[in-house]
Amino acid sequence: MKIILGTLFAGILVAATATPFPALAGGGVPPDLEAGQTLAESRCAHCHAVGRDGKSPVAAAPAFRHLGRKWPVENLAEALAEGIVVGHPAMPAIAFSPTEIDDFLAWLQVIQEQ
């Protein structure tokens, strides 16, 4: 009985401390949506639609609001940290700092269309 109660208590403790957000790369600082939007607009908008509407200036560049249809947006964190490199010369290699990753991914989460 002690083992069952101990296990139950441990499960409740874990559930109570869990958050719906992935671990933050920027040292636990809450993401800044405005900074994430600014990053998207300054580094990506020349090719991608980075907001809730509009077409991408480059037809082959996916609109950011549709990225969640193909994969979980939070899965982009590692690629952003290491530098996104793709197989065509028009897209520059882009790397983000841990805080920028959190801000950018928070913005992407907000604008996703299902």
Query: In this predicted model, what pLDDT tens digit does every residue of 45-103 receive, in sequence order?
Result: 999 999 999 999 999 899 999 999 988 898 888 888 887 766 566 777 888 899 999 99
Tokens of 56: 């991408």
Please measure the distance between the N-terminal and C-terminal CA atoms of the chain and give it in whole angstroms: 46
Average pLDDT over residues 29-58: 94
Tokens of 19: 């958050």
The pTM for the full model equals 0.71
User: Is the CB of residue 109 less than 8 Å from the CB of residue 73?
Assistant: yes
Which residue shows structure tokens 């020349």? Answer: 46
**Does domain 25-111 bear CATH number 1.10.150.120?**
no
Alpha-carbon distance 112 to 99, whole Å?
Answer: 20
